[in-house]
Amino acid sequence: MTDTASATDTPQTRRTLLQTLEIDTRLVGMIGAFIVLCVVFHLATDQRFLTPRNIFNLTIQTVSVAIMATGMVFIIVTRHIDLSVGALLATCSAIMAMTQTLILPSWLGLGLNHPITPWVTILIGLTSGALIGAFHGWLVGYLTIPAFIVTLGGLLVWRNVAWYMTNGQTIGPLDGTFMKFGGINGTLGTTGSWVLGGLATLAAIYALWNARRSKIGHGFPVKPLWAEFAMCGIIAAAILGFIGILNSYQIPTRRLQRMFEARGEVMPEGFTAAYGLPISVLLLIAVAVAMTVLAKRTRLGRYIFATGGNPDAAELSGINTRLLTVKIFALMGFLCALSAIVASARLTNHSNDIGTLDELRVIAAAVIGGTALAGGMGTIHGAILGALIMQSLQSGMAMVGVDAPFQNIVVGSVLVIAVWVDIVYRKRTGDRT
Amino acid sequence: MSTPLVEMRDMSIAFGGIKAVDHVTVDLHPGEVVGLLGHNGAGKSTLIKMLSGAYQPDGGEIFVNGEKAIINNPRDARTYNIETIYQTLALADNLDAASNLFLGRELVTPTGLVDDARMEAECRKIMGRLNPNFQKFSAPVSALSGGQRQSVAIARAVYFNARILIMDEPTAALGPHETQMVAELIQQLKAEGIGIFLIDHDVHQVMALCDRASVMKNGQLVGTVNTADVTDDDLLSMIILGKMPGSS
């Protein structure tokens, strides 16, 4: 009783709606900017931008950069940088391409499209990425070489290791199952997507309810009940709305016919089917949830943010900041490999220029998403939203017909302006920059 | 006399040829407050950082309860129940009070996840004892006042049942009221049998709070005196001239 009373009487100015809902104002600002961007493109493209088809394409184009951006958040939060992610993606992609088209089928004699091939390939790819990342982390953490230099060197090294391994050739086609991770070649279909959306909604509501119960259990102040219900409503609408949009993108009739033919069947008259949620997007969502839990609910995450906020304090608190650096870079390498799966599967082959300039897109996504280069601040959902904004800007301009050089000029300028707006915002709110 | 709680014997450390601490021996008994005095750069903080695990000594030995202690890092120091309140406070500004209180020693749920709710509850409990006015439990500590930040740093040292407490200029950034609070806290901890090393500039404060005072100058120990046996001026001349009282 006394606890709830003391919680509400803390002398404060009247709470705004956003404060009551406990929503991050920065996040609201970013979502607002994103919506404005989408609406402008929608109008400028004769309403072709916000169609299920384009939204579907946007999401699968964003996945690769977004996955890496979540790892870049941790790197930047601990006051490091990783310039090698695009090159590392290329090396992991090359390793996996060689594994599934040459090493397993020919050298080990498993033949093409053996059921074990994609999984062995993925395992080897992820392990390689994590090991290379860990090596970067060791150079940074234990040999105290600045991350900027280590990964600048890495950018050259890994880009050309990939080139050397493949002789610069395009390697493809890749394994059939492997390519399901690319996007359009692997989707859950209408029913699967709705089931998953429903489960996700229930899980989110359960998590909110659980958090509230735990707060009440300890006698902490809680949001008014209507605010909790409003949050549940917003989350449910967002998840189910997204699924609904993806489910309304119909597979073209021609493609359906080919799919039936491939199975030796005849397509029934008037048959339609939708793509639903792509597996690659599901992968991104899984990464986002895992990385958010890691950031907020594990010791590792706590140490990452503590080290970013005050490295000396972290050290004096008994945190092994060197080993922490190795772990963070290993995680980044792992995520690069994961992105390599998605990127090469989407292209259906490994090309020599895969992931070129991705390091800049990934850093830009993290920074636009509110990750402070001074360290200690950043969120996973912000980085993913940042990646989505970057991709929307790029494809929107392409759809409007902006010339390629201008596209890059705009993207570069937006990055600088976004960071400036962020600095102004933080000065207003009194946060550190 | 009983076995000292801590004895730092013949400690030395050099940085790039400069002897920051040069063969210094100090000790501390349960329920005792020992002041460490000296000018800036006299080596007080450096000496104490070897005890808290932040620096590795070049020479010398540390004994806790008469047994040789191996302290290679701050984690080791904590296993000997040595807690430190640093002059810089060593707080992660971007985290809230509870996260700082438990930094490096988080409470976890049975599934191994960080238990923020329980840590905040514990934080509220100890802050209720140390600084009942403290209310900002969800704000990052960068949003707190100097005194509030200090109480978070003190809470961190006290919460984990310290037996040996190192306070590096704990009142340097505080107002008179908060300084008084720290003084009362020191008396309370002393009564509980905790040994305290108090690094301070203020001779009056050392005379008021400490049982003994060790004075350092240019990395060397000038001497250790019972505060009851000397005057403020004696201590001052030890600090400034590096001479023991009585010697001329």
Beta strand pairing call for B82-85 and B18-28: unpaired
Chain A residue closest in CA terms to B93: A309
Tally of CB atoms within 10 A around A69: 35
**CA–CA distance, A122 with A125 (Å, rounded to integer):** 5
Give mean pLDDT, residues A21-39.
85
* Chain B stretch 112-131, residues whose beta carbon is closer than 8 A to a beta carbon of chain A: 112-114, 116-118, 120-121
Give yes or no for B173 touching A (CB within 8 A): no
Interface test with A, best of B100, B111, B114, B152 (most A CBs within 10 A): B114
B106 touches chain A (CB under 8 A): yes
* Three-state helix/strand/coil letters over chain B: CCCCCEEEEEEEEEECCEEEEEEEEEEECCCCEEEEECCCCCCHHHHHHHHCCCCCCCEEEEEECCEECCCCCHHHHHHCCEEEECCCCCCCCCCEHHHHHCCCCCCECCCCCECHHHHHHHHHHHHHHHCCCCCCCCCEHHHCCHHHHHHHHHHHHHHCCCCEEEEECCCCCCCHHHHHHHHHHHHHHHHCCCEEEEECCCHHHHHHHCCEEEEEECCEEEEEEEHHHCCHHHHHHHHHHCCCCCCC
Tell me the backbone φ, ψ of residue B24, rounded to 5 degrees.
Answer: -105, 135
Residue A65 · residue A287 · CB < 8 Å: no
* pLDDT at residue A5 greater than cutoff 50: no
Contact across the interface for B91 and A217, Cβ inside 8 Å:
no
Reduce the DSSP state of residue B223 to 3 states and report it. Answer: strand
pLDDT of A238 above 50? yes
Q: Cβ B114–A297 below 8 Å, yes or no?
A: yes
Give me the helices (H) in A99-224, please.
Answer: 117-141, 147-166, 189-217
The predicted model gives A26-41 an average pLDDT of 89
pLDDT at A3 over 70: no
Whether the bond into A173 is cis, omega within 30 of 0: yes
- CB within 8 Å: B120 and A218: yes
Mean pLDDT of A19-41: 84
Residue-wise pLDDT tens digits, A42-77:
999 888 898 888 999 999 999 999 999 999 999 999
Q: What is the pLDDT of residue A265?
A: 81
pLDDT per residue as tens digits for the range A372-399? 888 889 999 999 999 999 999 999 999 9
pLDDT score of B138: 84
Asked if B246 is an interface residue toward chain A (Cβ–Cβ < 8 A), one would say: no
Interface with chain B: mutation pick from A302, A305, A312, highest number of B CBs within 10 Å: A302
Instruction: Say yes or no to pLDDT of A4 above 80.
Output: no
DSSP state at residue B144: S
The residue of B56, B86, B94, B115 whose CB has the most chain A CBs within 10 angstroms, and thus the best one to mutate to test that interface, is: B94
What architecture is the A52-186+291-403 domain classified under in CATH?
A: Orthogonal Bundle (1.10)
Write out the two tokens for A290.
């895992």
| Residues A118 and A175: beta-carbon distance below 8 Å | yes
ipTM value of the model?
A: 0.87
* CB-count burial class (<10 Å; 0-12, 13-18, 19+) for B19: middle
For A6, name the nearest residue in chain B, comparing CA atoms only: B135
Count CA atoms closer than 13 A to B221's CA, side-chain side.
18
Provide the number of CB pairs (under 8 Å) joining chain A to chain B.
89
* Type of residue found at A369: G
When mean pLDDT is compared over A7-11, A322-326, B123-127, B139-143, the highest value belongs to: A322-326
What's the pLDDT score for residue A14?
53
CA A257/CA A234 separation, integer angstroms: 39
Q: What is the DSSP string of A17-35?
A: HHHHHT--HHHHHHHHHHH
Q: What is the mean pLDDT of residues A24-36?
A: 86
Q: Where are the alpha helices (DSSP H) in A298-431?
A: 299-309, 311-316, 321-347, 358-368, 380-400, 404-429
Confidence of residue A431 (pLDDT cuts 50, 70, 90): low
Whether the per-residue pLDDT at A203 is higher than 60: the answer is yes
CB contact under 8 Å between B114 and A10, yes or no, is no
The ranges assigned to domains in chain A are: 52-186+291-403, 192-277
A405, two tokens? 């050089």
B1-81+162-248 in CATH: which number?
Answer: 3.40.50.300
Give pLDDT, residue A267.
Answer: 79
Residue A312, SS3 per DSSP: helix
Phi, then psi, of A390 in degrees rounded to 5: -60, -45
pLDDT digits (tens, 9 = 90+) for A169-195: 999 888 888 888 988 888 888 888 999
Sign of the Cα torsion A64, A66, A70, A76 reads: positive
> From the list A218, A306, A430, which residue is nearest B95 (CB)?
A306
User: Hunting for tokens 């005050």 — which residue is that?
Assistant: A310
Residues B180, B170: Cα–Cα separation, whole Å = 11
In this predicted structure, what is the pLDDT of residue A370?
Answer: 87
What confidence tier does A283 reach under pLDDT thresholds 50, 70, 90?
very high
The rounded distance, in Å, linking the Cα atoms of B149 and A231 is 33
Structural tokens at position A131 = 């090991």
Under 8 Å between Cβ of A287 and A70: yes
Q: Which residues of B touch A10 (CB under 8 A)?
A: 135
Tell me the whole-structure pTM to 2 decimals.
0.89
Question: Which residue is listed with tokens 């808290």?
Answer: B52
pLDDT at A341 over 90: yes
Beta bridge partners of B21: B13
Is A325 or B247 the better-scoring residue by pLDDT? A325
Question: pLDDT digit of tens for each residue in chain B (248 aa)?
Answer: 578 899 999 999 998 888 899 999 999 999 999 999 988 888 888 999 999 998 999 989 999 998 999 999 888 998 999 999 988 888 999 999 999 999 988 999 888 899 888 899 899 988 888 878 888 888 899 888 888 888 898 898 888 888 999 998 888 777 788 788 888 888 888 888 899 999 988 888 888 889 999 999 988 999 899 988 988 888 888 888 888 877 65
**Angle, vertex CA A309, rays to CA A306 and CA A315, nearest 5:** 55
CB contact under 8 A, A218 and B74: no
Restricting to B residues 52-71, those with a Cβ less than 8 Å away from any Cβ of A are 52, 54
With CB atoms and an 8 Å threshold, state whether B106 touches A317.
Answer: no
Alpha-carbon distance A133 to A89, whole Å?
Answer: 11
Cβ contact B95–A305 (<8 Å): yes
What are residue B223's DSSP bridge partners? Answer: B215
Does B93 sit within 8 Å of A302, measured CB to CB? no
Closest CA relative to residue B160, chosen from B226, B241, B81, B66: B81
Q: CA-CA distance, A42 to B203, in Å (whole number)?
A: 73
* pLDDT tens profile B78-87: 899 999 998 8
| Whether pLDDT at A11 is above 70 | no
User: Has residue A33 got a pLDDT over 70?
Assistant: yes
Q: How far is CA B113 from CA A299, B82, B118, in A?
A: 7, 27, 12
In one-letter notation, the amino acid at residue A415 is L
B83, B95, B120, B133, best to mutate vs chain A, most A CBs in 10 Å: B95
Residues of chain B neighbouring A378 (CB-CB closer than 8 A):
none
Give pLDDT tens digits for A93-104: 999 999 998 888
pLDDT of residue A264: 80
Separation in Å, CA of A424 to nearest CA in chain B: 18
Q: Given a cut of 90, is residue A123 above it in pLDDT?
A: yes
**What digits encode the pLDDT tens for the residues B112-138?**
899 888 899 899 988 888 878 888 888
Between the CA of residue B149 and those of A85, B101, B131, B199, what are the distances in Å?
Answer: 39, 11, 11, 19
B-chain CB neighbours of A290 within 8 Å are none
Q: Which residue of A has its CA nearest to B100?
A: A306
Interface of A with B (CB under 8 A): 10, 214-215, 217-220, 293, 296-299, 301-303, 305-310, 312-319, 376-377, 430-432
